[in-house]
Amino acid sequence: MSNLDRQATLSVCGGRGFVVAEPVRELLTPRHVRLGESTEVRRLLPNLGRRMVGAWAFVDHYGPDDIAGEPGMQVPPHPHMGLQTVSWLHEGEVLHRDSLGSLRTIRPRELGLMTSGRAISHSEESPKSHARFLHGAQLWVALPDAHRHVEPHFQHHTELPTVTAPGLTATLILGGLDGATSPGTTYTPIVGADLALSAGAEARLPLDPDFEYAVLSMSGQAEVDGVPVLPGSMLYLGCGRTELPLRADTDAGLMLLGGEPFEEEIVMWWNFIGRSHEEIEEARKGWMSTSCFGEVKGYDGDRLPAPELSPITLKPRGRVR
């Protein structure tokens, strides 16, 4: 999914500036952003005061939206560099096309993982014949410097490993959890898991104390370490945890995101992750004037133009707490 914000601003993320080295309970409020005519997303990352969680650099939650008789998601061809996109659905379908020639329909609890590397472009849309409801999350993972120029590639995994406990099923999206490992390619120590909780469930999820974590609420009523987390909000948990208490009053869906704190400082603007203003500026010029991002074939419409790149001062990092 693209960042369609026409007022996109440069921001510095990563490093240890925002990392909390101990367990905390920091509830993040989303920013509401329109994507096309019928889709509104709740943007949790980047957030005021919280730029990243491990290598997770961007989190949008959308739906459940009733798109019966509506076009649903319609995101025209747009570029990416320096990151991976993770498409994750609870309801509906998303048709993915990219400049490598990939054409895949992603369905609930299937992993759509696109590694942009040096340059790629793609589109995302609801199929013409689609389910009534659309509900999911779109996430980005920042690539470390050693791998950010890899050849672009796309992976679609329809079968993913699970970890179970009474009242809990955890599906591995990326990385590993409690002995299970996702088949998705990763470039930093990271974890992403979909947590399905039954009404009345109480469980403790094992964690890595060297990771920082956050939990995104997708649906239902659940408590994370005693904190009620409503759908569309995210609880940042800091580092230093060996387990995470979970409790559900109703059937609930959560996403666990974590990883080793991202050591490198990155510059994020629009749909690009780079290391300097100059690099971002060159990427923008490349999208507007050349074919270095490739061509998305088969999409019925024009590609997305880049917004203006303002020469404003980069937003500062926070302090270690």
Closest CA to 33 of 270, 263, 251: 270
Q: Binding site annotation covers 78?
A: yes
Would you say 239 and 212 are in contact if contact means Cβ atoms under 8 Å apart?
A: yes
Alpha carbon separation from 71 to 42, 52, 92, 302, 305 (Å, rounded): 19, 32, 12, 16, 21
Q: Phi/psi class of residue 249: alpha, beta or left (left: φ > 0; alpha: ψ in -120 to 50)?
A: alpha
**Look-up of token digits 């060297």:** 210
Q: Residues 113, 295: contact at Cβ < 8 Å? A: no
Q: Which two tokens stand for residue 112?
A: 């759509």
Using the structure block, give the residue that is written with the tokens 């994750």.
Answer: 88
Q: Which residue type is seen at 53?
A: V
Q: Is 122 annotated as a binding residue?
A: yes
**Cα–Cα dist 189/211, whole Å:** 8
Burial 74-113, CB ≥16 within 10 A → b, else e: bbbbbbbbbbbbbbbbbbbbbbbbbbbebebebeebbbbb
Q: Is 282 helix (H, G, I), strand (E, B) or coil?
A: helix
80 has binding-site annotation: yes
The dihedral region occupied by 270, where left means phi > 0, alpha psi between -120 and 50, and beta the remainder, is left
Residue 135 is labelled as binding a ligand: no
Phi, psi of 146 (to 5 degrees): -65, -20
Known binding-site positions for Fe cation: 78, 80, 122, 124
Known binding-site positions: 78, 80, 122, 124
